Structure 1
Amino acid sequence: MSRTLKIYTGIFIVVIGFLMYLEYTKPKPIIWTPTYSSKDKIPFGTYIAYNELAQLFPEKNKKRIEQSISSYLSFNNRTGSDVFFIINQNSTLSETDTEYLLDFVEQGNDAFIVSNFIPTPILDSLHLKTESSYYILNKDFSNVELSLVNPSFSNPRYKFEKVDQYAYFSEIDSVNSVILGQYHMGTETKTNFIKQKYGEGYFYIQLFPEAYSNYFMLKDKNYMYVVNSLNYINKNTILWEENNKSIHTPPDGILMYIFNNPPLHWAWVILLCSFVLYSLFFGKRTQRIIPIIKPLKNTTVEFTQTIGNLYYNNKEHKDIINKKIKYFLYYVKEHYFMNIEKINTEFSDLLHLKSGVPKEITDKIVSLIQKNQNSDISTEEDLKLINRTIDLFYKNIN
């Protein structure tokens, strides 16, 4: 790597590292989506309210229900000592869930609903009507005060700022309904919290879910509004509904998913920068490819076969026999340290003793060698005979 390339690479690493440092040290953006989930610590989650139930009601049981109301009530006994706590921006319960909830309350249980929008079947069953108002956020219309009418709560007012929507009861059942809380906007007062008997149980309906959010509970003494309103719960088990929540869905698409996740976003940027740098500095080869040179092949065996075939095809049997005898005698000399100048009976006896080959084979070899030495012409049959005899000798060596 050249010195210039090293400098550019170092600058690139420093810049990327600095950008990553800025990205990971900057404050995370605040998510203002109103989910009202007991698992969310964002401003409009209900993590604080849910976890404070244990402090407010140490003698009561609490259970987070992460399935639909109808599914839960279908497989669990309705003891008459339970209260279903439902909080959401818009309580859009299904028709089946609504029927199960009405039946649940009618049998002596309670339902505590906190939402800007109440399902129509519930309103019709309780003979209630609600209306909503929307305001532009400004100094005059964005501030709302809430109060509880029970004298035991000293009737303080809790101030909520930057409210752009609120719902209230326009009609209630004066016989079965009890007003528990109200809105105050200047000189105007509206009912937003009631208790209504239904069958053997009660509905508690509150139309301002923002009051139970993390953001408003941590502001001033607004948490006391939540504490006092929850004191109306007199059942042993609190079933906190967690299934039907408003969920902020990020944009679809792989690239949008990457861009909405900072770590993946930076990984994508680094990948693109790396590709550009590679294209600029390593796009061309700096050295030719070194060809692979195969090692020379050992052709000794092929060469020997070729020479042998040449002699055999030219019918030079005498020369082939002489070479066979020569190689045989060389083998005897190297392995048995024998004198190969005189090929006679004594040579055969000594070869038999040293090699362990039967005497008739050594005698046969000596006889064929002597015959070849005394003859000027050899036939193909002579070649085959001496070849078989020498091979037989090698096979019988001990």
Structure 2
Amino acid sequence: MKGSRWFIIFIVAFLLVMFAVEYHLPKKFVWTPTFSHYDEQPLGCAVFDSLLSSSLPNGYSISKETFYQMEGDTTDNGNKGILVIANNLSMVEADVNALLKMAERGNKIMLVSNNYPKYLEDTLRFYCTYSHFSAAAFKKYASSIFRKDSIYWIADSVYSRQLYRCYPQFCNSYFRSYDSLPVRKLAEKDMSDAIGDALADSDSVKAYNNYHPLMAMVRPWGKGEIMLVSTPLLFTNYGVLDGNNANYIFRLLSQMGELPIVRSEGYVKATAQVQQSPFRYLLAHQPLRWALYLTMITILLFMIFTAKRRQRAIPVVREPANKSLEFTELIGTLYFQKKDHVDLVRKKFAYLAEVLRREIQVDIEEVADDKRSFERIARKTGMDAEDIARFIHEVRPVLYGGRTIDSEQMKVFIDKMNEIINHI
């Protein structure tokens, strides 16, 4: 009995040491674009889907159906916004025809890809340049001191013209051959940042500075619209958390109006659509994988040493654990380690600005309309206009002026923004 107790203590201590060693090893990221709802790697969409699920008031859901399947579904007659994200969008002619029929009935469809089917390009009369994503080139560029590329929002008067920065590998594709079409332009790319320093010929520099490739546009079709976006990697986990890209994504999604949004995963790779079981989740992370292997070895040894026992303990089958809270804690831990309080305030302010634009048609990012905006917010929320103006004037230096804040000040700002949202 004494020897068995020491054996159990040794096995438990060995497992704890191995788990601690594996846990503190550097984490290895996989830079393969999957756009999967379950992929928490940089180029998956777990963070993106989580953010939209909690932010869009009219509903956000994930579907595995293709356009052909959705168009043939007679149980749902209401219009909706359909979002498709893929690095290389592959659709057969039947899917394209179903897409056009749905748009003609009044649905709003957003296709986000850097390569479109030839039949769709011929039908809508546009052409999108294709660029291959190289993870090695991206990591090399991200670790250098080169400037990011610039994307300008140019759509309409609802939003002010704004600049967004992104890595060249995320926005190399653009649209051309669309000049004769009745399209509404949403965003353009500024080529001067990309090549202004590289060209020695002043005439060439001037020509490129005057060239602004189109990155996003809206094509009216029947009673609905087809929105084309050439930057799918901005919709991934890394893209959403990088700089102010979340604001750009929300501006694109706002073009769907008040329709409920459904993201279709029918055009991503089949391996990315497989839902992760608890064992699949354990095997996908190296520390947990080794912990599982060592646990199985320990169980095998225990069975060998206790083979003479006739009575076996009946295992308790537990329900799969909910990993949502752990995932939230993981994101929170990343921000806590970076001490990037300003970025959290910036993302919360972007959400606040989007809510105010959508609910009461007020743009608090437009400084010239501050007085009218504060009075309209005060009438809608019942709060004091001077209190709102004081808060906005206090938070703007943090967002745009580079002012640093501590965690307590961050909590004060976020609580104030939640108070405004709750009073709308």
Structure 2 length as normaliser, TM-score?
A: 0.53
Q: Distance in 1 between matches of 2:35 and 2:243?
A: 20
| 3-state SS in 2 of match to 1:196 | strand
Q: Does 1:223 align with 2:246?
A: yes
Shift of 1:225: 0.7
Q: Is the 8 A contact 2:15 2:294 kept in 1?
A: no
Once the two structures are superposed, residues 185-241 of structure 1 have per-residue CA deviations (whole angstroms, 9 ceiling, x without a partner) of 425431111111223321100000122223222233221111212221125232221
Kindly indicate whether the alpha-carbon contact (under 8 Å) linking 2:233 and 2:239 is maintained by their aligned counterparts in 1: yes
Give the corresponding residue for 1:357. Answer: none
Alpha-carbon distance in 2 for matches of 1:132, 1:147: 20
CA contact (8 A) 2:114 2:173 kept: yes
User: 1:9/1:225 Cα in 2 relative to 1: closer, same or farther (>3 Å)?
Assistant: closer
Q: Secondary structure at the match of 2:213?
A: strand
Structure 2 unmatched ranges of 5 or more: 197-207, 275-280, 305-424
Give the AA of the match of 1:116.
Answer: N
Q: Residue in 2 aligned with 1:117? A: 115
Q: Is the 8 A contact 1:102 1:122 kept in 2?
A: no
* Code of the aligned partner of 1:112: M
Distance 2:146 2:189 in 1: 13
Q: Which moved more, 1:111-120 or 1:147-156?
A: 147-156
How far off its partner does 1:34 sit? 2.2
Backbone CA RMSD of aligned residues: 4.1
Instruction: Give the paired residue count.
Output: 274
Tell me what 1:347 maps to.
none
Question: 1:34, 1:45 within 8 Å by CA — same for their partners in 2?
Answer: yes
Task: Write the distance in 2 (CA, Å) between the matches of 1:51 and 1:43.
Answer: 14
C-alpha distance in 1 between matches for 2:56 and 2:161? 22
Distance change >3 Å, CA 109–CA 33, structure 1 → 2 = same
Match of 2:80 in 1: 82
Secondary structure of the residue aligned to 2:243 is coil
Q: Is residue 132–residue 165 contact of structure 1 (8 Å, CA) maintained in 2?
A: no
Contact 1:130 1:170 in 2 (8 A): yes
Give the direction of change, closer, same or farther, for the CA distance of 1:51–1:273 in structure 2 (3 Å limit).
Answer: closer
The reply on whether 1:37 has 2:17 as its aligned counterpart is: no
1:203 aligns to what SS in structure 2? strand
- Of residues 72, 80, 85, the one that matches 2:70 is 72
**Which residue in 2 is equivalent to 1:148?**
153
1:200-349 alignment, distance < 5 Å: 200-234=223-257, 236-246=259-269, 247=271, 262-266=287-291, 268=293
Q: What's the CA shift for 1:30?
A: 3.4
What do the CA deviations read for 1:155-177 (whole angstroms, capped 9, x no partner)?
22111136266211121152322
Correspondent of 1:166 among 166, 172, 175: 172
1:198 paired residue number: 221
Unaligned runs of 5+ residues in structure 1 are 251-256, 280-398
CA distance in 2, matches of 1:98, 1:273: 55
TM-score normalised over the length of structure 1: 0.56
Name the amino acid aligned to 2:148.
N
Q: Which amino acid aligns with 1:148?
A: W
User: Larger relative CO (CA 8 A, sep 6+): 1 or 2?
Assistant: 2
Paired-residue identity, %: 20
Checking the alignment, whether the CA contact within 8 Å between 2:84 and 2:111 is kept in structure 1 is yes
Compute the displacement of 1:70 (Å): 1.8
Query: What secondary structure is seen at the aligned counterpart in 2 of 1:163?
Result: helix
Q: Which structure features the higher share of strand residues?
A: 1
1:233-276 C-alpha deviation (Å, 9 max, x unpaired): 125232221333244599xxxxxx99866545455467779999
Q: Distance in 1 between matches of 2:52 and 2:14?
A: 50
8 Å Cα contact 1:83-1:233 kept in structure 2: yes
Distance 1:140 1:6 in 2: 58
